[in-house]
Amino acid sequence: MNSLTNDRLLHSIEHLNAIGIALSAETDTPRLLEIILLGAKELTNADGGSLYILTDRTLSFELIHTTSLGLHMGGTSGKPITFPTIPLDRADGSPNLNNVVTTAIIEQRLINIPDAYQNDRFDFSGTRAFDQKTGYHSQSFLTVPMQDHEGRIIGALQLINAKDPATGQTAPFSAADEGLIASLSSQAAIAITRKRLIEGLEQLLLSLTRLIANAIDDKSPHTGGHCRRVPAITTALARAVNADSGAVFGRTALTARELDELEMAAWLHDCGKITTPEFVVDKHTKLETIFDRIHLIDSRLEILRRDAEIALLKARLADVGNPPPSAALADYQTTVERLAEIQAFIHKCNTGSIFVGEAEKQRLAELARETVDFQESGRSAALLDGNELYNLSVARGTLTDEERQVINNHVLASTRMLEALPFPEHLSRVPQIAGGHHERMDGKGYPHGIPAGQLPLQARILAIADIFEALTASDRVYRKPIPLSEALTIMARMCNEGHMDKDLFELLVRSEAYRDYAREYLKPEQIDAVEQASVLGIIGRQPG
């Protein structure tokens, strides 16, 4: 018998405690399984063992280890386990009580078999076939179900061939072995369950993150897949930082957790746009809100045209049978031509594609003083009301200063939303990184005007990714997509203006970290040759 002395028992308990501590600290699933099985073998001086995981009433081998055979499959070995899975139920639906492992799980009990060759209760034909093939002799078995803190069976631990410490001969597993392995299996089940819960929560958080990003993209056709694409170019540039051996980033290495933190910040960087009204996000003309108010102005101009036509018809009716007076006809033609020119001018100002200078603003102000009479009601209205005049007078683009501030406020909204979330410690800087993607290296960005020295590296990477995606996106309805070379040239000029980190931009160009991204997300005609010397020359750098 494999009896344990008091000293050995004390040592085993200490070893069991050490295994428990290791289980609590391990975060890698394959290594966790190795700790469980190898620890069980050491505690019982077993030659072999297997660890099974239960999924949908089917047992699958996760790890096999036999010392005397040099057999190591699954876990960290890199060798796949080819043995078939074991169902808990027969084909007719009855419980599979012929197999020792399934029986231990179904009946939720420990099973200790001194000699499998002398046992006629369970089917060991597979074991005997294995022995015949390998020359091994599977004799003593100890099988323990792994039960978590909620009483659920998640798998089983099976040990084979306990060795007598004194003689090295195969011996049955002792009662002390049973107690130690029962305790270990409970700790193991809790450790595996905890790991699953953590992974499940991380996956849930990532899924919710992407759900929010996708909802923001779906909210506006103008931003299209922006929130989906920014993480791709962000992680590409982050990998380039880790791979670089140059003077600037050669000693910089973002850890796996820092990369996870950056990726999550990239997915959530625009989450505040949930609060931004659609009529601002989607404003592709100056007068657009829920609808384009240019049509209201067109209607007023149409009333003026009809008034001119009515005046002409009245002149004709005053002298039936004769052509209208030449003065009336001339006035009508002049009015119609003038109204057509006014309409074309206002439409042009509304597009945002032209610069509205002082001369244009003066003319818009003059047009705003003209009135349209509504004869039935006896009231009149300005051709351009105050709000329309204000919007049409925007010098560049389509947004007023107030609307631009609403757009900019999405960063503050993002930060507030993210700071309200209880991120775990390794993701604690997500709000800071996401909230810094519109800051500038010269401290003139928004919302806080943080200078470069106070911005974490991840935030500077995200800022470049955000600009690169915006310039190369092919789903912006208000402009045509531009090729890579043009986008990088614009970004180089932006670097000189203090927008971006020159070192990171240089790395983006030198490493061509954008290439895989371009092949996946850009149109073929956008992927042109990039002259590194030309682009880097703009910022005073030389290609590597």
Q: Mind listing the pLDDT tens digit for each residue in 203-244?
A: 888 888 888 777 776 766 556 578 889 999 999 999 999 999
Which of 398, 420, 439 is the last residue in one of the domains? 398
Same domain (yes/no): 274, 306: no
Tell me whether strands 371-374 and 170-171 are parallel, antiparallel or unpaired. unpaired
Answer yes or no: are the C-beta atoms of 396 and 405 closer than 8 Å: no
The pLDDT value recorded for residue 193 is 82
| pLDDT greater than 70 at residue 60 | yes
Strand, coil or helix: 2 = coil
In a domain, 207, yes or no: no
In a domain, 289, yes or no: no
In a domain, 107, yes or no: yes
In a domain, 288, yes or no: no
Highest-confidence segment of 27-31, 241-245, 302-306: 241-245
Q: What is the mean pLDDT of residues 375-399?
A: 82
Same domain (yes/no): 100, 45: yes
The rounded percent of the chain whose pLDDT value lies above 70 is 88
Quote the CA–CA distance of 209 and 394 in Å, as a whole number.
Answer: 36
Same domain (yes/no): 348, 235: no
Same domain (yes/no): 10, 28: yes
Confidence of residue 280 (pLDDT cuts 50, 70, 90): low
Q: What is the mean pLDDT of residues 508-524?
A: 93
The pLDDT value recorded for residue 32 is 80
Same domain (yes/no): 104, 176: yes
The rounded percent of the chain whose pLDDT value lies above 90 is 39
Domain that residue 309 falls in: 294-398
| pLDDT greater than 80 at residue 22 | no
In a domain, 117, yes or no: yes
Q: Answer with the residue of higher pLDDT: 535 or 25.
A: 535
Supply the CATH number for residue 49's domain.
3.30.450.40
Same domain (yes/no): 249, 168: no
**How would you class 523 by CB atoms within 10 Å of its CB: exposed for 0-12, middle for 13-18, buried for 19 or more?**
exposed
In a domain, 206, yes or no: no
Type of residue at 172? P
Tell me whether strands 371-374 and 58-66 are parallel, antiparallel or unpaired. unpaired
Lowest mean pLDDT among 56-70, 248-262, 401-415, 530-544: 401-415
Residue spans of alpha helices (H) in 173-225:
175-219
Quote the CA–CA distance of 444 and 542 in Å, as a whole number.
Answer: 27
Which of 197, 229, 255 is the last residue in one of the domains? 197
Q: What DSSP assignment string belongs to 339-386?
A: HHHHHHHHHHHHHS-S---HHHHHHHHHHHT-EEEETTTTEEEESS-H
Lowest mean pLDDT among 1-10, 213-222, 501-510: 1-10
Across the chain, mean pLDDT equals 85
Q: What DSSP assignment string belongs to 135-178?
A: T-----EEEEEEE-TTS-EEEEEEEEEEE-TTT--EEPPPHHHH
Same domain (yes/no): 264, 377: no
Nearest to 206 by CA among 255, 253, 270, 266: 266
pTM (two decimals): 0.66
Q: Could you write out the three-class secondary structure of 14-68?
A: HHHHHHHHHHHHCCCHHHHHHHHHHHHHHHHCEEEEEEEEEECCEEEEEEEEECC
| C-alpha dihedral sign at 12, 18, 23, 27 | negative
- How many structural domains compose the chain? 3
Q: What is the mean pLDDT of residues 188-203?
A: 81
| pLDDT greater than 50 at residue 1 | no
Q: Mind listing the pLDDT tens digit for each residue in 446-484?
A: 778 887 678 889 999 999 999 999 889 877 655 678 899
Which of 398, 416, 439 is the last residue in one of the domains? 398
Cis status, amide bond into 447, omega within 30 of 0: yes
